[in-house]
Structure 1
Amino acid sequence: MLHTYLTTSWGLRYPIIGAPMVGVGRGRLARAVSEAGGLGMIGIGTEPAELIAREAAIARGTDQGRFGIGLMTWAIEKRPDLLEAAIEAHPFLLSLSFGSPAPYVERLHQHGILLATQVNTRAEAVQAVGDKVDLIVVQGVEAGGHVTGQVSTLPLLQAVLDAVQVPVLVAGGIATPHGVAAALAAGAEGVWVGTCLLASPECEHVEQARVRILQAQETDTILTRAFDVAQGLAWPEQYPGRALRNHFTQQWHDRLETLPQASEARQQLATAIANKNYDVASIYAGEAVGLVTRQQPAGEVIHALGNGAERLLRTRSSLLLDGYEASSEDEG
């Protein structure tokens, strides 16, 4: 069995957290991840606050299972009712990202809720420690969905591990046991995964989206604001989103300044979203999408990641350490 902070202190079977993916990662997915031995998260954007209670009930189940909720800090500054609803749902873990979590730390701790935040630079990680968060999620630029910063997962992880003492998780580019094993071997306490769950039936994607996800390669994503700008969404400029390339990004990614006035293009996107036409509508996914090759229940994905990483670490550590020492002794 793998032994990290998440397994020894939290009692998880696997040191794996399902990322809070807005729109597609709701109660069913969170429940499936938690039942499999990880910790599932519900992603909340700017939907009605009532959605939180409904999805939290699904994630909790009749056995009062643990789950988490992910919120965007910039959104709750405008919509404090979202934070109130999240606290009322009493998740095990609350993630506050895309803005400073500092104003909310004390209150969440008073309610017995652990706090995580995603960081994209070493400086953000150090600041988060000063804010007294419980968990830092290092998010590399190859992650799916909205990100900030310009640093890839591996160099960012190394920089943060050298700078902080709180538990660190890794997000971005992890979709197989090899990725989980690499993160744990480097010193992370666990992984934060989303893209590898996008084709799971518990994810709120329709079949047309799953087909495109399974067909995508690791080179088929783009970091863009085109979808947010076209829909008039309030995401701040510093947070573009990594999505699958399609006709809409090809046409508008480099013409963002004209997109707010392009009423025909904006209507085209709205129609495509309603009709599930992903030649135009968005599918947010990370560079690890090329590793997602079949539809698989979320629980099976978590089991495969955790068990596979354990096998890899046992075998690889034996080869690197015991095998090398034995061969050296033989030569002597």
Structure 2
Amino acid sequence: MTEGIAGLRTPLCDLLGCDVPILLAGMGGVARSELAAAVANAGGFEMLGMVRESPALIAEEVRALRALTDRPFAVNVIPSATDPALLEAQIGRCLDLGVRAFTFFWDVMPEVVARMKREGCLVLHQVGTAKAARQAEDAGADVIIAQGIEAGGHVHGRTGTFALAEAVMDAVRAPVVVSGGITTGRGLAAALAMGAQGVQCGTAFLATSESFAHDYHKSRVVDATGEDTVLTDVFVLNWPKGAAVRVIANSITEGLEGRLLGHDPATLPRVPIARDGDTPRLRFSTDSPMRTTTGALEEMALYAGQGAGAIRDVVPAAERIRRMVRDAEDCLARLVSPVGGRP
């Protein structure tokens, strides 16, 4: 449990059932039950990253999470980037398991959001534009997550985090969560000071002991700065054409000679470079290295946001949250302290 949370608690915490307005991004493969439970038990709100995962794995992870925490949680799936039959099976299994909250991303599919609301579920929707925020709210989304271009992983918009957050807050009435490049308490304080209800973090939690990311990926995040990341759509196999991601530059991106965007998945070769058990991982795929991955890890998508430069070590998720809370409280206290003084 976090300490001294009174100054950080927002109405979003009551809606989600958490103590501090820090959300774990639903990172596919990375945000599994161990990490989700660690975030929840430290006072944050957790999401299971189940993008295109089988209903069987979803059931396994939901049960594992419930064995580790009794806190509320959401399951993250991507309707517009998932085969409709698989999406139906995913949602059906979640509902059978009593899942009561979902997080969606990429293109807004109003019929999916509306269905979840008819089922009585809470819906959080991550967007990259103010227009998409309005679409998501009109469809029934309860919480809007404004993701800026600084974010690691898949990035849908092209606007900076705080500029987008301001535009989204002007566009919707729903609580707004800020996401993209936020890895410290300073970013949390900035989001709250501008009127947002909380922040969502991916990179900050990828580099924790509980995340399912490979140790190699975690070490690359720790060693990276924001300038070491690039936005590219070359890691696009398994996603729609033009789906850009922010990754740490590697031999694949350096080999593009500056042509980071404009790649067509239909023309990219499908060459296995790594494996997770019996499952091959292809060069140019969206797969990032997990604990179970072996092979050419350096050539894979090493997701990280521009806030990576503030991540200097791999720590338990509870410690990451504790530091964020402490630093955010200090920043917010300075706003009301005498000029030149400390509270």
TM-score (norm 1): 0.88
Question: Where does 1:123-134 land on structure 2 (aligned, <5 Å)?
Answer: 123-134=131-142
Matched with 1:221 is 229
**Aligned partners of 1:63 and 1:121: how far apart in 2?**
34
Matched with 1:295 is 314
Aligned residue among 231, 249, 254 for 1:250 = 254
Which one-letter code corresponds to 1:237 in the other structure? K
1:261 Cα deviation after fit: 5.2
Matched with 2:25 is 19
Which one-letter code corresponds to 1:17 in the other structure? L
**Aligned partners of 1:87 and 1:77: how far apart in 2?**
16
Question: Where does 1:130-149 land on structure 2 (aligned, <5 Å)?
Answer: 130-149=138-157
Which one-letter code corresponds to 2:125 in the other structure? T
Change (3 A) 1:76 1:181: farther
Change (3 A) 1:268 1:104: closer
1:92 Cα deviation after fit: 4.2
1:45 Cα deviation after fit: 1.8
Aligned residue among 96, 108, 119 for 2:116 = 108
1:81 Cα deviation after fit: 0.8
Matched with 1:283 is 302
1:6 Cα deviation after fit: 2.0
TM-score (norm 2): 0.85
Question: Where does 1:44-123 land on structure 2 (aligned, <5 Å)?
Answer: 44-61=50-67, 64-74=70-80, 75=82, 77-79=84-86, 80-123=88-131
Aligned residue among 145, 154, 161 for 2:162 = 154
1:201 maps to 2:206: no
| Count of residue pairs the alignment pairs up | 317
Aligned 8 A contact 2:36 2:46 in 1: yes
Which one-letter code corresponds to 2:56 in the other structure? E
**Aligned partners of 1:166 and 1:261: how far apart in 2?**
41
Residue deviations 1:113-135, cap 9 Å, x none? Answer: 20011111111111222112100
What percent of counterpart residues are identical? 32
1:63 Cα deviation after fit: 5.2
Q: Looking at CA atoms only, which structure, 1 or 2, has the larger radius of gyration?
A: 1
**Contiguous gaps of at least 5 residues in structure 1:** 324-332
**Aligned partners of 1:246 and 1:47: how far apart in 2?**
27
**Aligned partners of 1:318 and 1:288: how far apart in 2?**
27
Matched with 2:34 is 28
**Aligned partners of 1:38 and 1:92: how far apart in 2?**
17
Which one-letter code corresponds to 2:172 in the other structure? V
Q: Which moved more, 1:279-288 or 1:75-84?
A: 75-84
Aligned 8 A contact 2:234 2:263 in 1: no
| Superposition RMSD in Å | 2.4
Aligned 8 A contact 1:139 1:172 in 2: yes
3-state SS of the aligned residue for 2:171? coil
Aligned 8 A contact 1:31 1:61 in 2: no
1:313 maps to 2:332: yes
1:184 maps to 2:203: no
Aligned 8 A contact 1:142 1:172 in 2: yes
3-state SS of the aligned residue for 2:225? coil
